[in-house]
C-alpha cells in the first residue's frame, strides 16, 4: 500500500473487496496443494492385482507380486500328472503365467514361491480337501455342470450319527434334492459316494462339486432326484479337521484305507441310519455305491462282500488289488465273491480311469478278471491321471445312468 494511503483513506467497500480477494487466493492456493497431494497419491496407488484373469479366448493369466523372489512357479490341474510346475515370468515386481486355451472345467492351482507352495493371495476362492488347500477357478461354458446356476437347489447338511461298529460318533454330509422339503411323502433313491486317500466327508462336496452337479443335472432332466451321502472313509476319524473332536489319528496310514472297518460301518451303521432318518427306498435297485481311489477299493470291498446290496456300482481310478499290499487279500475268497456278484447281476457296474493314472495297469487287470468271470461292466477311459478333473467328470457322466 502506498505510504500516502492508510486504512482510513480506503473506502469501506473497497477494503472488503480486497479482503475477499486475498481470502479467495489463499483458498485457491490451499485447494491446489490438496489436489496436488491427491494426484500424487493416486499415482502411487495401483490397480489391485488380477489373478486369475479369465481371457476371452479361454486362456487364463495368473499374477503374483513378489519383488524379492528369484523363482516363482505354478502347478495346476490342467497340466499333465507327470508334468512339473511351470516357471512364471517376472516383469518389474510382478510374476505372471498364461495358460493355453482351457476347456470348461473346475480347475485347481497353487504357486511355488522359492519352492514353497502357497495359495494365490489375489484369489479369494480356495478349497480344502483333507489337509490340502488349493486356489480354484472355473472356466464356464454351456456344458459346464460345476457352476452354480439359477435352478432349484438342493440342501447339503452336516449330519452326526452313531457308529457302534467304530465306537464313536461320526460326521457325514447329506445332499437332499430340491423337492425333498416340499414333498413330504416322496421317497428317493440313495447314492453313497466315497472319497480317496487324504480326503474326508467334505471332499466330494467341495471338489465334486456335488451340490452344483446334482442341481444342474436334475434341473436339466438328465438325472433322477436322489439323496447323496458322503462319508468319511477313515475309520479312526470323527470328522474333517476342525469339524468336531480332535482326531486321535488325523493322518491315518494307508493300511487303514482297506482294512474292512469302514466298509462294515457303512453297511451296519450308515445305511440303517439313512433309511431310518430320511425318506428313501431301502432296496437294492435304489442304492448306488461309488468311489474313487481309496473309495474305489472300499466300494469293491463292500459290493464284493454284499453282492445284493446295491444294483449300481461305480469304481473310479482303482483296479485289482491282488498283490496283498494291504495284507487282507484272499484269492480263493475273492474269486467266490466275484462269482456271487456275477450271479447278483448288478444293473450297472461302471469303471473309469485316466490313461496317465498310476493305477491304470491295475484297472487293466481288474477288467481282465471281470471278463474271465463273466461280470458285465461299462468302461470309461479318459485323458489325464489320478486327479479331481477326472473324478468330477466321471461324477457328471455316471449320475445320469443311476436308478434308470
Quick: pLDDT tens for 111-150: 999 989 999 999 999 888 767 789 999 998 766 898 889 9
Is 26 within the bounds of a domain? no
Give the model's pLDDT for residue 20: 59
Average pLDDT score, the chain:
87
Per-residue pLDDT reduced to its tens digit, 342-372 = 999 999 999 999 999 999 999 999 999 999 9
Tell me which DSSP letter residue 280 carries. B
Q: Which helix (H) or strand (E) holds 397?
A: helix 388-398
Do 168 and 276 fall within a single domain?
yes
The contacts of residue 19 (CB under 8 Å, 6+ apart) are none
- Determine the Cα–Cα distance for residues 228 and 239; give it in Å rounded to an integer: 17
Is 35 within the bounds of a domain? no
Is 32 within the bounds of a domain? no
Neighbours of 134 (CB within 10 A): 21
Do 127 and 160 fall within a single domain?
no
Q: What is the CATH number of the domain that holds 87?
A: 2.60.40.10
Neighbours of 2 (CB within 10 A): 6
Do 169 and 267 fall within a single domain?
yes
Give the model's pLDDT for residue 361: 94
Do 100 and 202 fall within a single domain?
no
Cell numbers representing residue 67 in the block: 519383488
Q: Name which residue leads in pLDDT, 272 or 10.
A: 272
Q: Which one of 139, 167, 186 terminates a domain?
A: 139
Q: Could you give the number of structural domains in the chain?
A: 2
Extended strands (E) in 11-141: 53-54, 60-65, 72-76, 86-87, 89-91, 94-98, 105-113, 116-118, 126-129, 132-139
Split at pLDDT 50, 70, 90, the class of 1 is: very low
DSSP bridge pairs for 188: 280
Do 180 and 126 fall within a single domain?
no
Do 133 and 180 fall within a single domain?
no
- Which residue, among 382, 363, 392, 321, has the nearest Cα to 129 in the 3D structure? 392
Is 309 within the bounds of a domain? yes
Give the model's pLDDT for residue 144: 83
Do 175 and 72 fall within a single domain?
no
Give the model's pLDDT for residue 14: 55
Do 181 and 294 fall within a single domain?
yes
Indicate the length of the chain as a whole number: 404
3-state secondary structure (DSSP) of residue 337: helix
Is 260 within the bounds of a domain? yes
Cell numbers representing residue 377 in the block: 461292466
- Determine the Cα–Cα distance for residues 176 and 390; give it in Å rounded to an integer: 24
Sheet hosting strand 378-382, strand order edge to edge: 155-163, 168-176, 227-230, 190-194, 287-292, 312-316, 348-354, 378-382
Q: From residue 86, give the alpha-carbon distance in Å to each of 25, 98, 113, 122, 123.
A: 60, 10, 12, 19, 19
Q: What is the CATH number of the domain that holds 357?
A: 3.40.50.1820
Give the model's pLDDT for residue 277: 97
Do 209 and 306 fall within a single domain?
yes
pLDDT at 8 over 70: no
Per-residue pLDDT reduced to its tens digit, 293-326 = 999 999 999 999 999 999 999 999 999 876 555 5
Is 33 within the bounds of a domain? no
Which residues span the domain enclosing 95? Answer: 53-139
Do 251 and 104 fall within a single domain?
no
173-185 mean pLDDT:
95
Neighbours of 150 (CB within 10 A): 6
Q: Which one of 106, 139, 172 terminates a domain?
A: 139
Do 281 and 394 fall within a single domain?
yes
Sign of the C-alpha dihedral computed for residues 372, 378, 380 and 386 taken in this order: negative
Per-residue pLDDT reduced to its tens digit, 389-404 = 899 999 999 999 999 9
- Determine the Cα–Cα distance for residues 21 and 380; give it in Å rounded to an integer: 86
Which phi and psi angles does 9 have, rounded to 5°? -90, -10
Q: Name which residue leads in pLDDT, 171 or 239.
A: 171
- Determine the Cα–Cα distance for residues 91 and 87; give it in Å rounded to an integer: 13
To the nearest 10°, report the CA torsion of 128, 131, 134, 138: -40
| 207 close to 388: Cβ distance less than 8 angstroms | yes
Which phi and psi angles does 303 have, rounded to 5°? -75, -30
Give the end-to-end CA distance of the chain in Å, rounded to a whole number. Answer: 103
Q: Which one of 110, 139, 168 terminates a domain?
A: 139
Do 167 and 127 fall within a single domain?
no
Is 34 within the bounds of a domain? no
pLDDT at 247 over 90: no
Is 384 within the bounds of a domain? yes
| 403 close to 375: Cβ distance less than 8 angstroms | no
Amino acid at each position: 500500500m502506498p505510504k500516502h494511503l492508510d486504512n482510513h483513506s480506503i473506502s469501506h467497500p473497497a477494503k472488503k473487496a480486497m479482503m475477499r480477494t486475498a481470502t479467495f487466493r489463499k483458498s485457491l492456493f490451499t485447494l491446489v496443494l490438496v489436489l496436488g497431494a491427491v494426484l500424487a497419491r493416486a499415482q502411487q496407488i495401483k490397480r489391485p492385482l488380477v489373478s486369475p484373469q479369465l481371457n476371452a479366448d479361454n486362456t487364463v493369466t495368473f499374477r503374483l507380486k513378489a519383488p524379492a523372489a528369484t523363482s516363482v512357479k505354478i502347478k495346476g490341474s490342467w497340466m499333465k500328472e507327470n508334468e512339473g510346475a511351470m516357471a512364471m515370468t517376472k516383469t518389474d515386481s510382478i510374476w505372471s503365467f498364461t495358460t493355453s486355451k482351457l476347456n470348461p472345467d473346475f480347475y485347481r492351482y497353487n504357486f511355488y514361491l522359492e519352492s514353497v507352495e502357497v495359495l494365490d493371495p489375489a484369489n479369494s476362492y480356495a478349497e480344502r480337501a483333507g489337509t490340502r488347500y488349493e486356489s480354484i477357478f472355473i472356466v464356464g461354458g454351456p456344458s459346464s455342470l460345476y457352476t452354480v446356476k439359477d435352478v432349484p437347489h438342493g440342501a447339503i447338511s452336516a449330519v452326526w450319527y452313531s457308529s457302534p461298529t467304530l465306537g464313536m460318533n461320526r460326521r457325514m454330509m447329506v445332499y437332499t434334492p430340491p423337492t425333498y422339503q416340499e414333498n413330504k411323502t416322496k421317497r428317493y433313491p440313495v447314492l453313497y459316494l466315497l472319497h480317496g486317500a487324504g480326503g474326508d466327508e467334505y471332499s466330494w462336496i467341495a471338489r465334486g462339486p456335488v451340490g452344483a452337479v446334482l442341481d444342474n443335472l436334475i434341473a436339466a432332466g438328465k438325472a433322477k432326484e436322489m439323496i447323496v451321502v458322503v462319508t468319511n472313509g477313515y475309520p479312526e476319524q470323527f470328522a474333517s479337521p476342525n469339524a468336531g473332536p480332535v482326531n486321535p489319528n488325523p493322518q491315518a496310514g494307508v493300511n487303514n484305507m482297506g482294512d474292512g472297518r469302514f466298509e462294515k460301518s457303512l453297511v451296519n451303521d450308515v445305511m440303517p441310519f439313512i433309511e431310518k432318518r430320511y425318506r428313501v427306498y431301502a432296496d437294492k435297485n435304489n442304492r448306488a455305491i461309488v468311489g474313487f481311489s481309496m473309495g474305489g477299493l472300499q466300494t469293491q470291498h463292500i459290493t464284493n462282500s454284499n453282492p445284493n446290496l446295491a444294483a449300481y456300482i461305480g469304481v473310479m481310478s482303482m483296479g485289482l488289488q491282488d498283490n496283498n499290499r494291504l495284507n487282507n487279500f484272499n484269492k480263493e475268497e475273492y474269486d467266490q465273491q466275484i462269482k456271487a456278484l456275477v450271479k447278483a447281476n448288478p444293473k450297472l457296474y461302471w469303471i473309469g480311469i485316466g490313461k496317465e493314472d498310476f493305477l491304470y495297469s491295475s484297472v487293466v487287470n481288474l477288467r481282465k478278471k471281470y471278463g474271465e468271470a463273466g461280470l458285465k461292466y461299462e468302461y470309461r477311459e479318459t485323458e489325464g491321471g489320478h486327479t479331481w478333473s477326472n473324478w468330477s467328470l466321471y461324477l457328471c457322466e455316471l449320475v445320469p445312468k443311476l436308478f434308470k
